Amino acid sequence: MNTDALIRSSRRTVLVVEDEATNRELLGYILGESYDVLTAVDGVEALEVLAGHPGQIAMILLDILMPRMNGIEFLKRRQQDDTLSRIPVIVLTSDKDAELETLKLGALDFITKPYDMPEIILARVRRIIEFVEDRQIIQDVERDELTGLYTRGFFFEYCRRLPAPPRGERRDVIAVDVDHFRLVNEVYGKGFGDRLLCAVADGIHDVVHAGFGIGCRGDVDLFYVLLNQRRDYEAVYDALMRRVHQLGQSNVRLRMGVYQGVENTRPLEWYCVAAKAACDTIRANYTRGVVLYDDKLHERELYNERLIADMESAIAQRQFTVYYQPKYDIRGETPKLYAAEALVRWIHPELGFISPGAFIPLFEENGLIAKLDDYVWRQAAGQIRDWRDRLGVTVPVSVNLSRMDFYDPRLKERLLDIVKENGIPIESFVLEVTESAYSQNMDQMLKTVGELRQAGFHIEMDDFGSGYSSLNMLCLMPIDALKIDMKFVRNVASSSTGYRMVELVIEMARALGVPAIVEGVEDEAQYRLMKQVGCDIIQGYYFSRPVDAASFEPLIAGK
């Protein structure tokens, strides 16, 4: 049987709230043939049962006169609760006067005691359930026009009506998200964006039809699927990616989050949010496509929310500190201090020392990064000035630009202002731009970076080798140094191809006529290898970890 038919034919659950045992039994008997029946002896217990079966109860049959919490009071409580007020109520009564009041409180129909007409009771219950469900369906537009998948509202409604999985079987929720969809749309055009969404939807269609499941387009570029538990999520992901690659753009990427073992203790929406959170953890991670949700992730999510909430006040309270890590020129006999990189740290009054890896990607997501970067740039420029004044030395300091910074049309002016305000040579205020930013929005990057260089800034391409930049792009892109991604150094000792890779990158830097900077050199052995392979500048723990400005000064003095 397909999923739709299953939903329509599934048994609904009805809750009977009645203090008299014989009446409860009688109603249970009458309804039991067509419905699953739960019972409660008063309003208080009814609320407990409802809380224990979220999204499962299709109708409430409610007595009025009951101890502890009577029917009227229960109806008042129900009205205040969005979820509960969606569940229709039929009032069980022998009291004509109470009818009007219960109607005002949202009851839809009455069944009068004594219960001597089972067929009428059954017919009323069925009619009301159908009526409410149909109304709900009509309110939601069933399918998404572009992709043909269910819309969000309809998806959740359908999932609610699904019968529970057979004993011993479980269901999972997956969330699929297009990485940087807005950029993709911008770079390749809206037509491509639409085709991409349809390709993902087709892939989801395949998954759903191969087994049991329901899928929907939950938001612009976000999809949810409820499906029977499986283990091969990597294969599901690969199948979706194959669909995407058929469109001919190899650097479009999906992310997939999985919540395994959905239960009745929470509404399905919660599990979808959790699956989405799992897939959000690999936003900046180009090596993983699939993540499973777990408790650790939940904690991390709370932690991340905290960081976002605290960011603005942290800037105001100057909790962010800029550290400096030296870059050494190793071309001569003895290594010489060449420059420094400004790297931000967060000293949080309660959470302690936080490294940028924990908050930069978060702030890049929601645009907060622009404000933080501005703060770091000003600190760094002020530091260059301070060292010039006090030590008589101009140490070039590079700052990091995030891809978000390039969305600001005033970027160049802002940077020029900072240089001017601090009265420092423009070439001492170096800009690091990560390679992945180039590859994601090439035309605009070419233009902006070109303008920045024209204005006199020196540009270093950061994390080279971690993105997808083509050789062609490298030749077009005006840069002043190539910073080789740390992973190459990691691989140099362990494999001969690793060594060959570094050699190749250095050859590229030579071809471009710019120095090659190698990051992440940690020990003597790596240092020797790098010198041997011909790299020009080295930044890494071997020379120094990033340190605060005061600790950096001795390095300048020793220059």
- Whole-number Cα distances in Å, 528 to 331, 432, 469, 496, 541: 12, 26, 29, 15, 14
| Contact (CB, 8 A) for 103 and 77 | no
Which residue number, 360 or 529, has a Cβ lying nearer to ligand C2E?
360
329 binds ligand C2E (CB under 6 A): no
State the number of binding residues for ligand C2E (CB under 6 A). Answer: 22
Decide if 397 contacts 342 (C-beta within 8 A): yes
Nearer to ligand C2E, 46 or 492 (CB): 492
Task: Phi first, then psi: give them for residue 484, nearest 5 degrees.
Answer: -80, 135
Is residue 131 near ligand C2E by the rule CB under 6 A?
no
Q: Which stretch binds ligand C2E (CB under 6 A): 12-20, 69-77, 191-199, 516-524?
A: 516-524
Q: Is 356 in the site for ligand C2E (CB under 6 A)?
A: yes
| Shortest Å, Cβ 144 to ligand C2E | 36
Q: Which residue ranges make up the site for Ca ion (CB under 5 A)?
A: 400, 432, 462-463
Q: Does 369 bind ligand C2E (CB under 6 A)?
A: yes
The set of long-range contacts for 500-507, using a CB threshold of 8 Å and a minimum separation of 24, is 501/465, 502/530, 502/533, 502/535, 503/533, 503/534, 505/464, 505/465, 506/533, 506/534, 506/535
Contact segment (CB under 6 A) with ligand C2E among 81-89, 245-253, 273-281, 536-544 equals 536-544
CA distance 271 to 267: 7
Select from 180, 189, 202 the least CA-distant residue to 252.
180
Distance CA 3, CA 336 (A): 69
Which segment (16-24, 100-108, 304-312, 519-527) binds ligand C2E by CB under 6 A?
A: 519-527
Contact segment (CB under 6 A) with ligand C2E among 189-197, 278-286, 352-360, 382-390 equals 352-360
| Structure-block tokens of residue 232 | 């091969």
Return left, alpha or beta for 197; rule: phi > 0 is left, psi -120 to 50 is alpha, else beta. Answer: alpha
Residue 357 found at the interface with ligand C2E (CB under 6 A): yes
Q: What is the C-alpha to C-alpha distance for residues 252 and 242, in angstroms, rounded to an integer?
A: 11
Residue type, 33: E
In contact, 130 and 100? CB cutoff 8 Å: no
178 vs 505, which CB is nearer to Ca ion?
505
**Residue 314 touches ligand C2E, criterion: CB under 6 A:** no
373 binds ligand C2E (CB under 6 A): yes
CB of 462 to Ca ion, least distance (A): 4
Residue 544 engages ligand C2E in binding (rule: CB under 6 A): no
In the complex, least distance from residue 522 CB atom to ligand C2E, rounded to whole angstroms:
4
Which one of Ca ion, ligand C2E, none is in contact with 215 (Cβ closer than 5 to 8 A by kind)?
none
**Minimum distance between the CB of residue 367 and ligand C2E, rounded to whole angstroms?**
12
Pairing of strands 397-401, 336-348: parallel
- 540, 549, 553, 555: which one binds ligand C2E (CB under 6 A): 540
